[in-house]
Structure 1
Amino acid sequence: MADINTVGDRFADAPGRIGAVLEKLYGSLIEPGERRAGLDALRRLFDVDQLAVVCRSAEAPTQVSANLISDDTPRPEYEKHYVKSFCAVDPFVNLPVDRPLMVQEVMEERSWESHEFVQRFLRPMNVFHVLGADILTEPGTIYGVRLCRSRHAPRFSEDDRALFRKMLPHLRRFGQVHARLGRARMLEHVLNTLTEGVKLGAIILDSHSKVVHSAGLADMRLAERQDFYLSSGRLRASSRSNDQKLQRMLQLASSLADDGIEGESQAARFESSGGSLGITLRNLPLPAALDENAQTGTMVVFRDLDSETEISEANLIRLFGFTVAEARVARLLAQGLTIDEAAKRLAVSRNTLRTHLRALFLKSGTTRQSELMRTLVSSSTVFC
């Protein structure tokens, strides 16, 4: 086996080149739009025509969640074709973990050349020689990395294999960080969507009471210094009385955290020129990514108490099976209108509206108007 530290003249400057490639590769994690640039740098390091990364289930190889191809010519249509049709017939899968293999070590070259996967998928991309490795990035998740060359290009050598093996730990770490960042971005998107839908603001403070994340109405209010602002990274309320109340709540949260008490909530009502805000503070453990000592932080959630709850009639119809007329009545009642006010708004009689109300009780599984209102308002978060 070749010495991975002296893998031939072509790789004499490999350490310096690897450092530059890793900088590009890990930098692409921070800027998702640069992901292909990172793979392109990796492709040039290996001196191959194409480089493919396939994320698949370890238990079911045909369950592919992502496929990226680095090429001088972008090939998004081939990425989609692989996931949709060709992953099921790819014979170069289920490789031993962390062991770079050439395709000729898995099957005879004649069988490879005549295989449907090569004929219909690889040949149109001018690919024949493949060196691949399967990397277990997380339990149940395989990153399949495939280095590809045309038939007329040099076959992969032991030097190529040695360099590939040297890069495997970095590629594994890249896959792990990529997966975790993907989940974090997904959760952030979900949080932003939820807080916007129900008119909530959320702010996460670290163990030093400094803001590490904000979402929903909080972003806008902090940017406009409306009710809240940042001072040296710390959360402050705009009015003196509200700020005194907020700082007392934060001090209590800090004391509870020092005593090892998590999950305790505090609530208060803040009055301002813009209306009333309901404020809730809750201690929660922070991951190391937000607080390097992984200590307890604080989540501050607030809601505009004077704003009307937005309820979609279309969503009420889908969720409860209301008719169009019933959904209109439900939306008006949820906004706080009385039966008489709703009847007047809809230009119907009081008796007609009461008929609709009985249908609302039946379809929502409620028996009292107050119970119906709670159900309708709660349902607004389902489709926010």
Structure 2
Amino acid sequence: MATHRLDGLIRRIHAAAGHEARWAGAVSALRRVMDGRCAVLARHDFLRGRGEWLVDSPTEPQARQAYAEEYSARNPWFMSSVEYRPGRVMGGEELLHPDELVRTDFYRQYLQRLGLLHRLCGVVARRGDQVWYLDVLRGPSEPAFGVDERRRMRTVLRHVSVSLKNHWSLRDTDQMNRALLTVVDDLAPAVFVVDGRAQVLLSNARCEAFLDRCPGLRLRHGRLSAEVHTEQRALLEAVARAAEVDRERPGDGPADQVVSLRAGGGAPVTVLLVRPAGRLVAAEGGIREGAAVVVGKTHGVAEHDMERCVFPRLFDLTPAQARLAGLVLSGTGLWDCARRLGVSENTVRSHLKQIYQKTNCHGQLDLVRLHAQVCTEYL
């Protein structure tokens, strides 16, 4: 066997870690390298007494289905789980002599119909009662597997073990990400995960509608961008600071930051909460780089419920001041505030001035920013 054939097989095995469909090519290459008639990547559950071929070469859908539904439970090679230790390479004759195998229903009704007899098995991994293994099989007229084939299998087995564990890790991470994103879609406001340059890495289902109704924020070439130049600088600085924080080191870096964006023309104020997301592994090169979570909220969509909000109690606002603050935080103009509260515009201005004094704010934008920092119902 040429060395390049084994090298090619190993490359295929590791390429399959991130692409499930590539396991078919890896198993086919294994069959050729091992000079087998059939090769499979399979799983067996000793507790249930059943198993399945996950990938087979050549592909035999009917044989694979028959094995899973009937013959895996009658496979004499799986009478005992003791022999199936991760990393072990063994021939079928070590578990059952060929003379005994050919007298079983498993052989007469299954293996013989497929033209198979000799087996070489490599145990890839084991989790509890479940075992994953490689099988290469030959026909009755072909020689049993010898020392050279066992040596090749041991070499291959080490790489398959690493690749399969990486495959499981990537799959589990992807499933967890999908599950978390589903929860975020259902429960949270617009959430963007961005890198230190505000390039969006991940966003939930609410982000598209959020951007449509928030003229102060745009997505340009995949990056979050503020309409106003000075606010764009504030946004990028906040994201960069958050991305530099190492979440694995408590107390490192700034706390959550609030960025307020305006678009003019009476449009509602957009408030973004920027918080560290820790170090993420980039898809290319495996480089860990910082990321930030940007949570968005628009003032002006609906009047904020100040009775549930901690803001008035925290700053000792009177009931009248709290009602006015709720309207202002919802983007209501002063004239409309006066009309809805049944007071004059001068009274509104007087109450608003007192609110600014109690909260140490210098304007409506400061008030919006401060409220976003303290109100848990808000973001």
TM-score, length basis structure 2: 0.61
Q: Is the 8 A contact 1:138 1:176 kept in 2?
A: no
Cα deviation, 1:227-260, whole Å, max 9, x if unaligned, reads 44367x8643455465344334324424654974
CA distance in 1 between partners of 2:259 and 2:56 (Å): 54
Gaps spanning 5+ residues in structure 1: where?
Answer: 1-10, 309-384
Residue 284 (structure 1) aligned with residue 263 (structure 2): no
CA distance in 2 between partners of 1:247 and 1:174 (Å): 39
Percentage identity across aligned positions?
14
Cα deviation, 1:86-112, whole Å, max 9, x if unaligned, reads 443333243233121110111121222
CA distance in 2 between partners of 1:77 and 1:218 (Å): 45
- The verdict on how the C-alpha distance between 1:199 and 1:295 changes in structure 2, with shifts beyond 3 A counting, is closer
Q: Is the 8 A contact 2:41 2:133 kept in 1?
A: yes
Aligned length: 291
Equivalent runs, 1:188-199 vs 2, <5 Å = 188-197=177-186
TM-score, length basis structure 1: 0.60
- The verdict on how the C-alpha distance between 1:266 and 1:140 changes in structure 2, with shifts beyond 3 A counting, is farther
- The verdict on how the C-alpha distance between 1:147 and 1:241 changes in structure 2, with shifts beyond 3 A counting, is same
Query: Who wins on radius of gyration, i.e. which is larger?
Result: 2
CA distance in 1 between partners of 2:62 and 2:207 (Å): 38
Gaps spanning 5+ residues in structure 2: where?
Answer: 303-379
* SS across alignment from 1:127: coil
Q: Is the 8 A contact 2:194 2:291 kept in 1?
A: yes
CA distance in 1 between partners of 2:120 and 2:211 (Å): 51
After TM superposition, give the deviation of residue 126 of structure 1 in Å: 2.7
CA distance in 2 between partners of 1:25 and 1:267 (Å): 47
- What residue identity is the alignment partner of 2:17? L
Q: Is the 8 A contact 1:236 1:243 kept in 2?
A: yes
* SS across alignment from 1:151: coil
Cα deviation, 1:24-71, whole Å, max 9, x if unaligned, reads 2322333333331222122222121221112456x747475x632322
Residue 98 (structure 1) aligned with residue 87 (structure 2): yes
CA distance in 1 between partners of 2:301 and 2:261 (Å): 14
- The verdict on how the C-alpha distance between 1:215 and 1:250 changes in structure 2, with shifts beyond 3 A counting, is closer
Residue 27 (structure 1) aligned with residue 21 (structure 2): no
After TM superposition, give the deviation of residue 122 of structure 1 in Å: 2.9
- The verdict on how the C-alpha distance between 1:28 and 1:175 changes in structure 2, with shifts beyond 3 A counting, is closer
Q: CA RMSD in A?
A: 4.2
* SS across alignment from 1:153: coil
After TM superposition, give the deviation of residue 216 of structure 1 in Å: 3.0
After TM superposition, give the deviation of residue 173 of structure 1 in Å: 0.9
Residue 156 (structure 1) aligned with residue 149 (structure 2): no
- The verdict on how the C-alpha distance between 1:106 and 1:162 changes in structure 2, with shifts beyond 3 A counting, is same
After TM superposition, give the deviation of residue 219 of structure 1 in Å: 8.1
CA distance in 2 between partners of 1:53 and 1:264 (Å): 49
CA distance in 1 between partners of 2:34 and 2:210 (Å): 48
After TM superposition, give the deviation of residue 149 of structure 1 in Å: 1.7
CA distance in 2 between partners of 1:204 and 1:18 (Å): 42
146, 153, 157: which one aligns with 2:135: 146
Q: Is the 8 A contact 2:280 2:291 kept in 1?
A: no
Which 10-residue stretch deviates more, 251-260 or 147-156?
Answer: 251-260
Q: Is the 8 A contact 2:245 2:290 kept in 1?
A: no
- What residue identity is the alignment partner of 2:142? A
